[in-house]
Amino acid sequence: MSQASPVVELVDVTRSFPGPPEVRALKSVNLAIARGDYLSIVGPSGSGKSTLLNVLGLLDRPTVGEYRLDGVSTGELSEEQRAGLRARTIGFVFQAFHLLPRRTVLDNVLLATLYSGVPRVERMSRATAALERVGLGHRMGFLPTTLSGGERQRVAVARAVIAAPQLILADEPTGNLDQRTSGEVMDLFEELNHDGLTLVVITHDQATADRAARSIRIADGRVSEL
């Protein structure tokens, strides 16, 4: 793969849901995201953000159009092939953290290596390094329920980056955090982006969106560059 090739290419992507009436949640979307980009996707509820996230994350398929991820045309891939590409290529960070409450911080991060192709002998060292990277080396044995919201989101970030993905998709990553903690989490994302990670933040919050180097707005299923 050439380093100049985009990580993400959407070509005339439409996603429709059957009715009646039929709903077109995405309408002829064209989008390219280069390696190392920091992109925000901003829009109100019902604008198509979640549908776009699901397509980008290989959780859903376009009805029409083509999606190339890391140079791979995904339209003809089986569900198993899509799951493997997703595990190797994409890290997810969600608003609700999605941590297992009865497993330690370290275990939560380690679990992300099971399907991502990380060699068994590297899993522990990668997990501890990821937690150190997000400032939680002193919390590895703790349960998520004992952590603050900001700390739990940092665990989620460590889990997302452990397999060295090409792309991080962050869905409303500050939605459950106060303003100060939100700023700390976004600072962490930006440090990772400065290290070369491609970052896409999906948000309804304009202040969070404005931090990105590049921003697009989605409204009524159509995207426009800001």
Q: Give the domain extent around 58.
A: 8-225
Residue 167 lies in a domain: yes
| The pair of three-digit structure tokens given for residue 209, joined into one six-digit string | 């969106």
The C-alpha atoms of residue 56 and residue 30 are separated, in whole angstroms, by 12
The tens digit of pLDDT for each residue in 69-126 reads 999 999 999 999 999 999 989 999 999 899 999 999 999 999 988 877 788 999 999 9
Split at pLDDT 50, 70, 90, the class of 45 is: confident
Q: Is the dihedral of CA 76, 77, 79, 83 positive or negative?
A: negative
Whether 158 is covered by a domain: the verdict is yes
What is the C-alpha to C-alpha distance for residues 60 and 51, in angstroms, rounded to an integer?
8
- Predicted TM-score (pTM) above 0.95: no
Mean pLDDT for the chain? 93
pLDDT attached to residue 118: 87
In a domain, 205, yes or no: yes
CATH number at residue 20: 3.40.50.300
Of residues 96, 121, 100, 122, the one with CA closest to residue 111: 100
Question: Where does the chain have alpha helices with state H?
Answer: 49-56, 79-89, 105-111, 120-133, 149-161, 179-194, 206-210
pLDDT exceeds cutoff 90 at 130: yes
Asked whether residue 187 is assigned to any structural domain, the reply reads yes
- Domain assignment of residue 64, yes or no: yes
Give bridge partners of residue 11 from the DSSP assignment.
66
Structural domains counted in the chain = 1
Q: Convert the pLDDT of each residue in 172-208 to its tens digit.
A: 999 889 999 999 999 999 999 999 999 999 998 888 9
Q: Is the pLDDT of residue 1 over 60?
A: no
- Quote the CA–CA distance of 162 and 54 in Å, as a whole number: 21
Residue 4 has pLDDT above 70, yes or no: no
99 lies in some domain: yes
Please report whether residue 1 resides in a domain.
Answer: no
Asked if the structure places residue 26 within a domain, the reply is: yes
Q: How confident is the model at residue 56 (pLDDT cuts 50, 70, 90)?
A: very high
